[in-house]
């Protein structure tokens, strides 16, 4: 038997585990997925949780059922790539334990970059479902007040619009160094600006936050902005376990991989999604579900090819779109070139809402198909890469 250990039960981890189980079952693959929570967190929808919406609860055991993957509940404490071991912290009902592997797929994702003073102590983040529920419950206690959303990327825009629509009694302020949705084309960006204005979101562009306080934020130059809740969405970093293990990482703590998605320092370790520094012709992939799932499919295929004594094919990926919800009643979809630069075409309104909901639901469709062995890498919608 070949023990394949997948760390992380998000979109990329589940995808890699189901794909690897299907592709290696005839070569003696035994796949185990480790996750710190028993639930599958829909990170694409956490802004809706923050706004107070109750989403469906998906147990990982149900998501994995019938896929030939064993589930282990536990938080990764340390990785020893020399001994091929992973140590887990104790969890409710379980003592600390050590798991051995022959091949490892690292899909633990990233966490919010909290290097700005005060973020770790005073800001809310989207690192997991529990943290997001804490924000929602705090907002439930406010009958009036100001919510500051830091970061004008897609996550920040979705959060600001969702909160403004769902909690109109609160004043939402979006703070960003650049322009909200700066990566979009002029038409889509103008539509996004009008949506922010319609929902009453105050946009402060061209500002830098130097410190987060218990009741506000401090800008470069000393200006103070009051905040009853600060949501931080400005950037992410890899978890410290990767660097601490001796795996080669980049400046953001992501595992550096080769064209087959293997660690350049430890080839028995594969890294996928935003936990990996994946080089393409246009640069390093930035972390999105759009690129993460194809990388998980390709890593599982690469691993399976290696076990069969075949040469793994290089991973190639191109972006296709930038889907952004603007509350529950509006959205904008910017279609892109493979390097994520905007094309002329974009969708808005009801058509964009339907498009985005289809894309957001697609992982569950993919999981069902993976269990039946029906999905080659190229077939996962128009966003899939080639392997």
What are the angstrom distances between the C-alpha of 361 and each of 32, 48, 61, 297, 325?
25, 14, 18, 17, 14
Residue 354 CB neighbour total at 10 angstroms: 13
Closest to 366 measured CA to CA, from 357, 379, 352, 385: 379
**157 CB-near residues (< 8 Å, 6+ apart):** 174, 180, 181, 192, 196, 324, 326
- Asked whether 157 and 196 are in contact (CB, 8 A), the reply is yes
The pLDDT value recorded for residue 210 is: 97
| Class of the domain covering 114-232 | alpha beta
The pLDDT value recorded for residue 382 is: 33
The pLDDT value recorded for residue 96 is: 85
What are the angstrom distances between the C-alpha of 244 and each of 32, 79, 238, 253?
23, 8, 11, 10
Strands 58-59 and 39-40: antiparallel
Grouped pLDDT means (10 residues each) for the chain, 387 residues: 96 97 94 95 90 90 97 96 95 82 97 96 94 96 97 95 97 96 96 98 97 97 97 94 97 97 98 96 88 95 95 93 94 96 96 88 86 69 34
- List, for residues 254-306, the tens digit of each pLDDT value: 999 999 999 999 999 999 999 999 999 999 998 788 899 999 999 999 999 99
The pLDDT value recorded for residue 387 is: 29
| CATH 3.50.50.60 domain residues, the chain | 2-111+236-323+362-379, 114-232
Domain 2-111+236-323+362-379, CATH:
3.50.50.60
């Amino acid at each position: 038997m070949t023990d394949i250990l997948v760390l992380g039960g998000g979109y990329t981890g589940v995808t890699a585990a189901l794909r690897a189980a299907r592709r290696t079952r005839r070569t003696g693959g035994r796949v185990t997925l480790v996750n710190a929570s028993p639930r599958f967190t829909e990170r694409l929808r956490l802004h809706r949780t923050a706004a107070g919406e109750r989403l469906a609860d998906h147990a990982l055991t149900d998501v994995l059922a019938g896929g030939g993957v064993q589930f282990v509940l536990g938080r990764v404490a340390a990785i020893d790539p020399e001994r091929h071991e992973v140590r887990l912290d104790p969890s409710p009902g379980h003592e600390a334990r050590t798991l051995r592997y022959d091949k490892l797929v690292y899909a633990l994702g990233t966490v919010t970059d909290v290097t700005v003073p005060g973020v770790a102590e005073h800001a809310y983040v989207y690192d997991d479902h529990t943290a997001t529920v804490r924000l929602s419950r705090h907002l439930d206690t406010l009958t009036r007040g100001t919510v500051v959303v830091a970061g004008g990327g897609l996550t920040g825009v979705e959060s600001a619009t969702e909160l403004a629509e769902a909690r109109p009694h609160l004043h939402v302020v979006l703070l960003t160094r650049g322009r909200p949705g700066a990566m979009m084309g002029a038409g889509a960006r103008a539509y996004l600006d009008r949506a922010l204005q319609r929902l009453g979101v105050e946009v402060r562009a061209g500002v830098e936050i130097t410190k987060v306080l218990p009741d506000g934020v401090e800008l470069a130059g000393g200006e103070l902005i009051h905040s009853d809740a600060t949501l931080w969405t400005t950037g992410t970093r890899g978890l410290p376990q990767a660097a601490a293990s001796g795996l080669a990482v980049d400046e953001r703590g992501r595992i550096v991989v080769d064209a087959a998605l293997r660690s350049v320092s430890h080839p028995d370790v594969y890294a996928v999604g935003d936990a990996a520094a994946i080089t393409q012709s246009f640069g390093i992939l930035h972390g999105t579900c759009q690129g993460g799932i194809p990388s998980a499919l390709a890593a599982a295929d690469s691993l399976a090819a290696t076990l069969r004594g075949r040469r793994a094919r290089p991973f190639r990926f191109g972006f296709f779109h930038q889907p952004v919800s603007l509350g529950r009643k509006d959205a904008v979809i910017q279609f892109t070139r493979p390097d994520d630069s905007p094309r002329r075409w974009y969708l808005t309104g009801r058509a964009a809402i339907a498009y985005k909901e289809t894309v957001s639901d697609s992982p569950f469709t993919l999981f069902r198909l993976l269990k039946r062995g029906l999905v080659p890498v190229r077939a996962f919608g128009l966003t899939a890469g080639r392997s």
